[in-house]
Amino acid sequence: MTAPTTPLDLIVGPDQARAFLHARAWELTQLDCLPEAVALRLVYCGALRGDPLVLAAERQTWTLRSDVDPDDAPAHRLCVHARLTSPPRVIVTDPDDPTGQSDEFLIEVLEMYQLATWYPLPIVTQGASRDGR
């Protein structure tokens, strides 16, 4: 049994969550040649499950799930600094490690964790200037 996940819109707000999920769905349409409706459904279902393959992005902190043995995990918390592809991987640091050493893990490692915080870059709307006008 997996621990319940926190809805993405409670972490980043509904507008940011919607924009992120639609961007991730667009990536799927491009990378996997999926119809838009199928990609969107897969992304939304993955987000509801807390799937790191869907959710993992830079500027996130993931905390160990309560149902995971801490001895099986690299750290109690992981901060994502980059997401890489082919195969999907993340570059992370342990915020509790004073050395600040980064590690590269396959994205599956984040299945032991749940998304706790995320400080995404602001949404850029088409036609808006940098100052929002």
- Residue 130 tokens read as 């940098």
Residue 46: predicted pLDDT: 95
Q: Say how far residue 132 (Cα) sits from the centre of its chain.
A: 26
CB 115 within 8 Å of CB 65:
no
pTM: predicted TM-score of the whole model, two decimal places: 0.83
Per-residue pLDDT reduced to its tens digit, 37-52:
999 999 999 999 999 9
Peptide bond just before 87 cis, omega within 30 deg: yes
> Token match 């049994």: residue?
1
Per-residue pLDDT reduced to its tens digit, 96-126:
999 999 999 999 999 999 999 998 766 554 4
Question: How many Å apart are CA 56 and CA 106, to the nearest integer?
Answer: 11
